[in-house]
Structure 1
Amino acid sequence: MTRTVLRGARWPGDVAMADGRIVAVGSVPAADGDVVVDCSGDLLTPGLVNTHHHFYQWLTRGWAVDSTLFGWLQTLYPVWARLSPEDVEAAAAVALAELALSGCTTAADHHYLVPGGDDSVFDAIAAAARLVGIRTHVARGSMDLGESRGGLPPDSVVEDLDAILASTEAVHARLHDGETLFVTAAPCSPFSVSQRLMRESADLARRLGIRLHTHLAETLDEERDSLARFGKRPVELLDDLGWIDSDVWVAHGIHLSDREVQRLAEARTGVAHCPSSNSRLGAGIARVRDLVDAGAPVGLGVDGVASNEIGTLQPELRMALFLARQRAGDPTAFGPADALALGTSGGAACLGRTDIGRLEVGLRADVVVWPGDDVADVLDPLAALVLGPERSARHVYVGGVPVVADGHLVGADLASLRADLTRRARRLWPDSSTPGG
């Protein structure tokens, strides 16, 4: 058994990998045949886990920058309706590449806009994931409630309910391998889907043994809409539809009462915390400390880069810490270790994964090497990573296989991917001089 040994890290020590798994952590004695990677002074962490993203939104960065969520969506729905599967693949490739360079080894993409019902768009996302090489949870998102029936999206971008269910099953059969590609069922949000779609998607997912995902309690506009249409707050609505359960994780979860925090925790329903996107849209600050203390799984999400123009995961560690302290008014409320837990083990729990998110013997060898040379003078290595300068990973391993080496992608050329994306994105601009809303 040939081992790859990451040796000399300042924190937490050496890590040895073989056959796709971690086989030793700490001080790893040399053995004949070891492939040794010098990590002197660097920091090692589990691969970061991104629990909520919209890869396709790389095509629409910088649009509607002063809008609330509903106005932002109404500006962008018609633009997104023009995207081809090739456009989405180009955006997904850049999204995944940027994530990999920021230390992400597992990413969940929520793609809910499928013009004309052409579900080859999910094959396009899978192709991008294979190119870059990180584990990808592909959420077959959907919308079936257009404006004519009281929903937010225009009728032109919604799909037929029965076609959505058939497509979800077909996409699962084509793409789900349980190793690097995972398919989930993911109706978009309470204001863009019917209650029947929510119920029947849950039934289908549980028959297939896959997870469920949706947006929940992101804004006060959503709360008001739910109360006006259903007489219920969003969490109560989802609970009545059978969605508050341990096989579900939701995006955002900002506007929650004490009782709702406890309900999510009791059910082990996960929450994808998206601090930068929430701040950009002025949506609010999630009750992350309360959710974690209550026992709810909480992970980090980049969200779409049309509402978080950075698009990388490592900066979300710092943003999560800052917002948790700001909400509490207390610098002891949330520390660097808490932030890293959100980005690793917490994210894994949201996705129902017990095989990633920690540097432990027997788990998958998803490991990140962070350069430590510019923070060698920082007392606390975790503070260096979370609070120190924004950084790209030095090396990234997925199942022991390098996908980033010496700060560069192994399987793709980022400059070429970006050039293709730029050409496609500019096609969407209203004119050559006005890039967006």
Structure 2
Amino acid sequence: MSKWWIENGTFVTMDERRPVLKGHMVIEDGLIAYIGEERPADADAMPVRIDGSRLAFMPGLINTHGHAAMSLLRGYSDDEVLQTWLQDYMWPMEAKFRDEDVRWGSSLAVLEMLKSGTTTFVDMYDRMDEVAKVVDQSGMRGVLMRGAIGLCPEDVQLQKLDEAVRFAKDWNGQANGRIMTMMSPHAPYTCPPAFIEKFVQAAHDLDLPMHTHMSETAAEVEQNVREYGLRPVEHLDKLGFFSRPAFVAHAVHLTDAEIELLAARGAAVSHNPASNLKLASGVARVPDLLRAGVTVSLGTDSAASNNNLDLFDEIRLAALIHKGVSGDPTVVPAAEALKLATLGGAATIRQPMLGSLQAGMKADFIAIDTDQPHFYPQSDLVSHLAYSGSGRDVVHVWVDGIQVVKDGASTLLDEERIKHEAQACYGRLTGN
């Protein structure tokens, strides 16, 4: 099925000149070959066509921050502050993880993301070979990295760095190009300066981008100032982090000067509204970041701190909470919120062929069932997707022009087995 077409569909293109188009889209060799109102001239020669009526098509969503394997810990510890949640619950449980836990936890996360319309995700964890294998099998697109905490002896630090470098080399460009890798020290407060500098040097050596957590909580920022005399943005800048193409997760607690520095360095921010609200970390200054020219995208963080991986939830939150915080209902309108999850995500991971439905772009897109009460009356589709839509509305998903979800079911993953194995892993980890 190298060339096929969708007829009579409604397409949310993410092109400001024509955000919604009714017509046809042709896919050829994993790319969008044509999109427009006119019926394709060679339509009759194409053996496969899909009836697009009653469906809305939009670019696949891009989740720019998460820890897929932690889906095993969904609901294990809720309603705690970040440091308590990490130190008393997450880290002790994660210390028990084996390869199979990462494999099945990641499979559960990938299944959830695909079925709710995410076609590309960023993942920072360890045992990343297992995650990469899942991505390869699933047909999804993954930006993967061995995240490393540096609060350990130097020999263990070097072992983690070696693992990160080896993984980045082995997997970059694999799965028919659907996997790309990055270098990722966990966070400024969990990594000594010299450890971060080693990751920066490795990123230069391998010509790879960088990603880290940053300024998630006020306490983290205060600790950084106490220990290093600098706030996190200037601290990372001094260590050379932003000498590479880079993006940070959270960035909740920023000053005007830090926002200006991020903009000057071309650094992007992954906004994780649900996780930041659940952990009471605060609300990132997204309108100010956007006004300063900083690229902003959306991330779910892990299912242990969210507790779902439905990026439509993040779209709605991003469109709502900044209105409430600022008192200005015009900030982050519906179209901007959708952009954060599509074009913003593509810009954050530096993949310009993703994030919109236009000729020449990669054929990563989703189909949404809009013949439902919450999409009526059929007035403003962009508004409906941002404020009324849900990942549960997604019925079909394609990555590289290959259908990976059909009628709400994964075409390449065994959902029943994944659920069974994930539950078994949780039982072993918790003794339940």
TM-score of the superposed pair, with normalisation by structure 1: 0.91
> What is the aligned partner in structure 2 of residue 319 from structure 1?
317
Report matched runs for 1:28-39 at 5 Å. 28-30=38-40, 31-34=43-46, 35-39=48-52
1:228 matched to which residue of 2? 226
Between 60-69 and 283-292, report the one with greater CA deviation: 60-69
Give the distance between the partners of 1:86 and 1:159, measured in 2 at CA.
26
Partner of 1:435: none
Alignment pair present for 1:61 and 2:74 = yes
Are residue 94 (structure 1) and residue 90 (structure 2) matched? no
Contact 2:59 2:357 in 1 (8 A): yes
Distance (Å, rounded) in 2 between the aligned partners of 1:164 and 1:61: 26
User: Quick check: 1:8–1:40 contact (8 Å CA) kept in 2?
Assistant: yes
For 2:217 and 2:334, the matched residues in 1 are separated by: 27
Aligned length: 413
1:66 shift after superposition: 2.0
Q: Do structure 1's residue 174 and structure 2's residue 188 form an aligned pair?
A: no
Counterpart of 1:84 (choices 84, 98, 105) is: 98
The separation in 2 between residues aligned to 1:413 and 1:166, in whole angstroms, is 33
Tell me if structure 1 keeps the 8 A contact 2:310–2:391: no
User: Residue 412 of structure 1 aligns with which residue?
Assistant: 413
**1:300 and 1:21, CA in 2 relative to 1: closer, same or farther beyond 3 A?**
same
User: 1:188 is matched with which residue?
Assistant: 186
Per-residue CA deviation, residues 162-197 of structure 1 (Å, 9 max, x unaligned), is: 222322221122211161111111010111111111
SS at match of 2:107: helix
- Structure 1 SS opposite 2:70: helix
- Equivalent position to 1:16, from 19, 23, 26: 26
Shift of 1:252: 0.5
Q: Secondary structure at the match of 2:183?
A: strand
1:138 aligns with 2:144: yes
Shift of residue 294, structure 1, vs aligned partner: 1.2
Contact 1:50 1:313 survives alignment (8 Å): yes
Q: Does 1:26 align with 2:36?
A: yes
The AA in structure 2 aligned to 1:49 is: I
Identity %: 31
1:33-77 per-position Cα deviation (integer Å, ceiling 9, x unaligned) = 322111113211111111001011111112331211111110211
- Secondary structure at the aligned position of 1:341 is classed as helix
Instruction: Kindly indicate whether the alpha-carbon contact (under 8 Å) linking 2:181 and 2:208 is maintained by their aligned counterparts in 1.
Output: yes
Q: Alpha-carbon deviations, 1:279-323, whole Å to 9, x = none?
A: 100000111111112111111101011101112222111111111
Matched, 1:380 2:393: no
391 and 50 in structure 1: CA distance in 2 versus 1, 3 angstrom threshold: closer
Residue equivalent to 1:106 = 120
TM-score relative to the length of structure 2: 0.92
Partner of 2:17: none
Contact 1:137–1:184 (Cα < 8 Å) also in 2: yes
* Structure 1 residue aligned with 2:350: 352
Q: Which residue of 2 aligns with 1:255?
A: 253
Q: Which runs of 4+ in 1 moved over 4 A?
A: none
> Deviation digits for residues 115-163 of structure 1, max 9, x if unmatched?
xxxxxx22111111122211101111111214xxxxxxxx8xx972222
Moved more, 205-214 or 10-19: 10-19
CA-CA distance at 1:2 after TM superposition: 4.6
Deviations 1:352-377 (A, max 9, x none): 11111111111111111111101142
Which deviates further from its counterpart, 227-236 or 23-32? Answer: 23-32
Q: Distance in 1 between matches of 2:283 and 2:4?
A: 41
Alignment of 1:269-348 (within 5 A): 269-348=267-346
2: CA distance, partners of 1:377 / 1:303: 33
Residue 162 in structure 1 maps to residue 158 in structure 2: yes
- 2:128 matches 1:122: yes
- Paired with 1:231 and 1:63, the residues of 2 have a C-alpha distance of 36
Gaps of 5+ in 2: 12-20
Q: Deviations over 1:91-112 (max 9, x none)?
A: 111101111111111111011x
Secondary structure of the residue aligned to 1:22 is strand
The RMSD of aligned alpha carbons is 1.7
2: CA distance between counterparts of 1:44 and 1:159? Answer: 50
Question: SS in structure 2 opposite 1:333?
Answer: coil
> In the alignment, residue 194 of structure 1 is paired with which amino acid?
P
Q: Deviations over 1:252-295 (max 9, x none)?
A: 01101111111111211010111110010000011111111211
Q: What are the superposed Cα offsets for residues 332-368 of structure 1, whole Å, 9 maximum, x if unpaired? A: 1121110110000101111111111111111111111
Q: Is contact 1:143–1:159 with CA below 8 Å preserved after alignment?
A: no
1:418-433 to structure 2, matched below 5 A, reads: 418-429=419-430, 432=432
When residues 376 and 141 of structure 1 are mapped into structure 2, their CA distance, relative to the original with a 3 A threshold, is: same
Instruction: Report the 3-state secondary structure (helix = DSSP H, G, I; strand = E; otherwise coil) of the residue aligned with 1:266.
Output: helix
Instruction: Please state whether the residue corresponding to 2:302 is helix, strand or coil.
Output: coil
Q: Distance in 2 between matches of 1:69 and 1:123?
A: 28
The DSSP-based 3-state class of the residue aligned with 1:196 is: helix
Whole-Å Cα distance in 1 between the matches of residues 49 and 326 of structure 2? 44
